[in-house]
Structure 1
Amino acid sequence: MKQVEILVIGGGPAGLCGAINAAKAGAKVLVLERNQELGGQLIKQTHMFFGSEKQHASTRGVDIATILFDEIEESKNIEILKNATVLSIYDDGVVTAEIDGKYTKIRAKRIIVSTGASEKTLAFPNNDLPGVYGAGAVQTLMNVHGVKPGDNVLMVGAGNIGLIVSYQLMQAGVNVKGILDAAPTIGGYLVHASKVRRMGVPIYTGYTVKEAYGKDYLEKATIIKLDENWQEIEGTEEDFDIDVLCISVGLSPLGELLWQANCEMRYVGMLGGFVPVRTENLETTVEGIFVAGDVCGVEEATSAMVEGYLAGLMAASSLGYEMIDFEERREDYLQQLKSLRSGHVGDKIRAGLDQVTIKTEAAAI
């Protein structure tokens, strides 16, 4: 059985930042990543980030990934195992995983779960035709493998992801015929919507997909307008000749391991689904299990990274490893998260967090 001080499950932005901070504090860290590459969503993101200098504002996601990779490589306290799928977290703290095809047991003193989220889908006739993709799959094809998913695309979802991926498709020479969203207004930032509108792409709000068509692959899709009760309005159909239908209708936190570990979970729609109850220090109701990133509730990658730093700091501290400026760092991370969730854009996130955050004396200082 492999013995580790801190086990990080998931090598995306939250997990990498958690590992970096825990290692800086002096703890020995093992990171398990199920894919063959680290970085999660960062290696797909060619757009520049918002936020402050601390959150790598004006830096592209792929470049932020490189910065984190360099820090990981320089650390003597971090071990990385890729192609490693965690199977279970047992009551006695033992974690099992399949690593390069071999069944492995790991006993960790502390665990940081940063498993991220999965894409939601949309129900309509023929939604399983080849050519119907999730936005994450399209980003992987284009930005990781350099493969165009098709020639003519209809984007479903006008949130930040849908708008950003639409722009990236156009940069790759793909014809984006339109963007639609069932909501009456655009969900993403107006700066992203303005970019695609300036390039002549129409945005249809209050519309959904009625049906997709094709024999062996996607050839056409019909959209239809919705009324104020989200019911289809007959006679408002529009057809699009396309070979790609890109679905970007949100994410669901991947909390299966937390359920298995008996962490208290609550359904909070504003955070994407079932999320763990935790302290402001990101420790769950099971002592020694911390969380960070989209598994806590779907937000931007900037928030995931800050949560990762906080979780790494607190997991290491719980083992007796404390940086000289521990209190300053902790307060700084909490303030960064507060800032990222401020304003009208963060209303839903703040309301959702109020339902799952346990106030502690340490967090109240």
Structure 2
Amino acid sequence: MREINIHPILQFSHGKELKFTFDGKTMKAYEGETVAMALYRSGIDIFSESPKLHRPRGMFCAIGKCSSCMMRVNGIPNVRTCILPVREEMVVEKHEGFGKLPDYIEKFAEPFEINKEVAIIGSGPAGLSAAITFKEFGIKALIIEENPQLGGQLIKQTHKFFGSEKEKAGTRGFEIARDLIKNIENSSIDYITNSTAFAIDENKIGVFRNNQYMKIYTKYLLIATGAAEKMIPFPGNDIPGVFGAGAAQTLMNVFGIKPGRSVLMIGAGNVGLIVSYQLLQAGIEVKAVVEAMPTIGGYFVHAAKLRRFGVPILTSTTIKEVRGNLRVEKAITISIDKKFKEIPGTEIEWNVDTVCLSTGLIPSVNLLAQAGCKLKYVTSLGGFVPVRNKDFQTTNKNIFVAGDVTGIEEASTAILEGHIAALAILEKMGLKTKKLKIESIKNLNNLRGSPFSKKIIEGLKEVECE
């Protein structure tokens, strides 16, 4: 029902068929699929209910950054099913009201301990790039990734990257991810997936994996946790069928599942424009793209593709309300003036079953805050970001950062940042990497040479220290 059967770029294949139960009903899944994806593929929209008003809730981010897909799995409550792989005979139950505690609690085992000179939290473009750099200098870093597979957001990017050939220009995001992952898997680099880093205490990292606690001791830590999609307030924003644009990408480009039949996209930055085009490629109708600003925020080339398909892009327009009972049924947009005030009488009603939000990303700085790293709010970088020097060293001298956690930019930028941060750590370890590091910093500055990077550069001046 929701399968993507034909795609101009991607080919989808299924693993071994598995069986599990959802609220007592037998469901089908495929090996390698997460619980949330298997349920959504089967037509299940509602994953939980709000505690007091019992409003239906569905998936939103699909990368484990929110609570929308939490369910009870094998008796354990509040499990993020969007990043939990299906297992044979798994028992999944929808949360209703306040839910219930487990029937019993097993005795906690002593944490499993690992010692590593370098650990990397996050396996997106920054984390993978750093791990490969460490490998090239004979250092085996440990990658800690909470999702089922390596690659971060790169694995779902089907568009071709801009920039220089050296920085992967002309290559599709998922192809870049495939090459990076292949490099990792064919080497001696250690990595653990489905592993959530939840605490940092001096040289220790607390990790939860397969219902077991791990304690990882490390001398140097690189945090490359990326970013989360931003939710905006409007009536009906919790109705199933309201997705982050990245969740739509995960459904389509990773698992071959259609998010819906007819979509309204909120936000005309690069992500909103790119995902809208990818929706069209998957055979999904895009009714319109609406943008609150008076001009389109993304590149002209992305907007031009949509216009060739007849998709209207409405500027100075915002989402007013989403309506629906168990699923999105209608969306109401309204024009706004120069002061962002609604203009009465300009409402448009859209008959859609899906609304995608592309209204910005927020750097995932939770672990950095917990570790005591100094943060600063910079609007142009996406929110709170770590204060650091040009080596990406934070105010906690043994913690380095790279990628979108340092500020929202392109994947090509994240790859270079991961490389630079790794070279800086290697330099602190006594290896001669300074010359290569300086050259890489120069390449990063050149990559930020477009007019679109002007605000980014100004923002970086606020958080870079000596």
Question: TM-score per shorter chain, which class?
Answer: over 0.9
Higher relative contact order (CA 8 A, sep 6+): 1
- Structure 1 position 327, deviation (Å): 3.5
CA distance in 2: counterparts of 1:336 and 1:195, whole angstroms: 30
Alpha carbons 1:132, 1:247 under 8 Å: kept: yes
1:22 is aligned, of 134, 142, 153, to: 134
CA distance in 2: counterparts of 1:332 and 1:63, whole angstroms: 26
Alpha carbons 2:381, 2:459 under 8 Å: kept: yes
Provide, for residues 342-363 of structure 1, a one-character-per-residue CA deviation record: whole Å limited to 9, x for no partner.
232111100100000013xxxx
Counterpart position of 1:363: none
Provide, for residues 25-64 of structure 1, a one-character-per-residue CA deviation record: whole Å limited to 9, x for no partner.
1222100000111001110001111111121110111110
CA distance in 1: counterparts of 2:397 and 2:434, whole angstroms: 21
Alpha carbons 1:271, 1:349 under 8 Å: kept: yes
Percentage of pairs with the same residue: 49
CA distance in 2: counterparts of 1:54 and 1:315, whole angstroms: 23
- Structure 1 position 3, deviation (Å): 0.6
2:441 matches 1:334:
yes
Amino acid at match of 1:136: G
Amino acid at match of 1:214: G
TM-score by length of 2: 0.75
CA distance in 2: counterparts of 1:172 and 1:88, whole angstroms: 39
Alpha carbons 2:292, 2:318 under 8 Å: kept: yes
CA distance in 1: counterparts of 2:281 and 2:333, whole angstroms: 25
CA distance in 2: counterparts of 1:179 and 1:144, whole angstroms: 23
Provide, for residues 125-181 of structure 1, a one-character-per-residue CA deviation record: whole Å limited to 9, x for no partner.
111111110001000000000000111110000000000000000001111010001
CA distance in 1: counterparts of 2:429 and 2:186, whole angstroms: 23
Counterpart position of 1:141: 251
| Counterpart mapping for 1:142-221 below 5 A | 142-221=252-331
2:465 is aligned, of 346, 355, 358, to: 358
DSSP 3-state at the match of 2:392? coil
Number of aligned residue pairs: give it. Answer: 354
Amino acid at match of 1:248: S
CA distance in 1: counterparts of 2:173 and 2:210, whole angstroms: 28
DSSP 3-state at the match of 2:341? coil
DSSP 3-state at the match of 2:159? coil
Alpha carbons 1:22, 1:315 under 8 Å: kept: no
Counterpart position of 1:249: 359
1:46 is aligned, of 115, 134, 158, to: 158
Counterpart position of 1:72: 184
CA distance in 2: counterparts of 1:348 and 1:317, whole angstroms: 30
DSSP 3-state at the match of 1:245? strand
CA distance in 1: counterparts of 2:167 and 2:211, whole angstroms: 36
Alpha carbons 1:20, 1:312 under 8 Å: kept: no
CA distance in 2: counterparts of 1:133 and 1:332, whole angstroms: 41
CA distance in 2: counterparts of 1:112 and 1:288, whole angstroms: 9
Counterpart position of 2:123: 11
Counterpart position of 1:232: 342
- Structure 1 position 74, deviation (Å): 3.0
DSSP 3-state at the match of 1:112? strand
Alpha carbons 2:374, 2:395 under 8 Å: kept: yes
DSSP 3-state at the match of 1:358? coil
Alpha carbons 1:138, 1:246 under 8 Å: kept: yes
DSSP 3-state at the match of 2:287? strand
Alpha carbons 1:33, 1:84 under 8 Å: kept: yes
CA distance in 1: counterparts of 2:257 and 2:138, whole angstroms: 42
| Counterpart mapping for 1:81-120 below 5 A | 81-90=192-201, 92-120=202-230
Which one has a bigger Cα radius of gyration? 2
- Structure 1 position 336, deviation (Å): 1.9
Alpha carbons 1:25, 1:313 under 8 Å: kept: no
- Structure 1 position 332, deviation (Å): 2.5
Alpha carbons 2:424, 2:434 under 8 Å: kept: no
- Structure 1 position 311, deviation (Å): 0.9
- Structure 1 position 312, deviation (Å): 1.2
2:145 matches 1:33:
yes
Amino acid at match of 2:116: V
Amino acid at match of 2:455: K
Amino acid at match of 2:319: V
TM-score by length of 1: 0.95
| Counterpart mapping for 1:56-67 below 5 A | 56-67=168-179
CA distance in 1: counterparts of 2:453 and 2:172, whole angstroms: 22
Counterpart position of 2:429: 319
Provide, for residues 263-314 of structure 1, a one-character-per-residue CA deviation record: whole Å limited to 9, x for no partner.
1110001100000010101000111110000000010111011101111111
Provide, for residues 300-341 of structure 1, a one-character-per-residue CA deviation record: whole Å limited to 9, x for no partner.
11101110111111112211233xxx3442123212211221
Alpha carbons 2:427, 2:434 under 8 Å: kept: no
Q: Which moved more, 1:199-208 or 1:92-101?
A: 92-101
Considering fraction of residues, name the structure with more helix.
1
What is the root-mean-square deviation of aligned Cα atoms in Å? 1.0
CA distance in 2: counterparts of 1:327 and 1:263, whole angstroms: 24
Counterpart position of 1:362: none
Counterpart position of 2:44: none
CA distance in 1: counterparts of 2:376 and 2:237, whole angstroms: 30
Unaligned 5+ segments in structure 2 are 1-112
Alpha carbons 1:26, 1:321 under 8 Å: kept: no
